[in-house]
Structure formats: C-alpha cells, structure tokens
Amino acid sequence: TYYKYAHYSNNLIRGNKIMKSIKNLVVAEKIVEQAFPGIPGFKVRIKYQGRQAIRELAKKAMVHSIGPDMKKTEQLDVDLFNKLFVGSCVLGWTGLTMENLSKLVLIETPEKPDEEVEFSIENAEFLLSASEAFDKFINATVNDLDSFR
C-alpha cells in the first residue's frame, strides 16, 4: 500500500488521519517533591531532565587534554558534572533537620536537633558528594519516570 504523507504543524498527515509526532509529546522538564525514604518529613524538590539535557551537562563537564602521545583525550570531570547536575536537578528541600542530617552524614552531635538545615546549591552539592544515600536517592528519582507521573 502506498501512503501519501504531508506535514502539518509538526504532525504527520497520512491520508485523512493526523499522526502525532512523538517529539511534540515528550515532556522535557517536570518538577516533583519526593519524600526521602526512611527520614519522615524530609522532602526534596527534584526536576526531571530528559536524556538530551543530561547529555548536555556531561558535555559541559568534559575535560579535554593532549596526552604524551599527542592524542586528544576526553575525560568526564565528575566533580564538575555533579555540581552541574545538582544545580540543574535539585531545586530545594524541606524538613532536613540537624537530626535528619546526622542520618545521612557523620556530624557533631547537634545542640538543636530540630533546627532546619537551609537549602542552598552548595549544601546540596556537598550532601550529594558526602552521602551515598542522598546520591542514590537523587539519581534513582531523576532516572525513574514513574517518580514524575
């Protein structure tokens, strides 16, 4: 069977049927607030980023150098990637008290365990690098489509 195709406002028309373009249906970004498992009251605002956005972050974190054999090499600067990733995906949090923080990283015994730890990009970057649990949670959430539905 021979079909005639035509493009109309980014949709494909086949015969008298309009076929939706998948590219136009994809959500590139979405923000959710996720509860951190095992720490009641601690919630993190996380922004979903599509594969293309994550690739762009990785591209920005590539370090180019020339080896002793005069060949160009590319290597991912993991610290820079984590910084860009956190700045792009972790938008805030609530309920991270000093007591809760002590469950994620080893800290001095807090004088005020109910005192909230203020969100900042620097705090989020440090927590991602210092806490395996926080790192796994953020990465698992960003990579799980169901977290954003």
In tens, the pLDDT along 52-70 reads 888 999 999 999 888 788 8
Percent of the chain with pLDDT strictly greater than 90:
57
Q: Is the pLDDT of residue 7 over 90?
A: no
Section 108-132 average pLDDT? 93
Spatial distance between the Cα atoms of 75 and 72, rounded to a whole number of angstroms:
10
DSSP H helices in the chain:
22-25, 51-60, 78-89, 98-104, 121-130, 132-142
Measured between alpha carbons, how far is residue 57 from residues 6, 21, 29, 34, 124 in Å? 36, 26, 14, 23, 17
Spatial distance between the Cα atoms of 55 and 46, rounded to a whole number of angstroms:
18
Would you say 107 and 126 are in contact if contact means Cβ atoms under 8 Å apart?
A: no
Query: Minimal CA–CA distance to 103: which of 35, 19, 49, 42?
Result: 42
In tens, the pLDDT along 86-97 reads 999 999 999 999
Per-residue pLDDT at 36 = 97
Confidence of residue 11 (pLDDT cuts 50, 70, 90): low
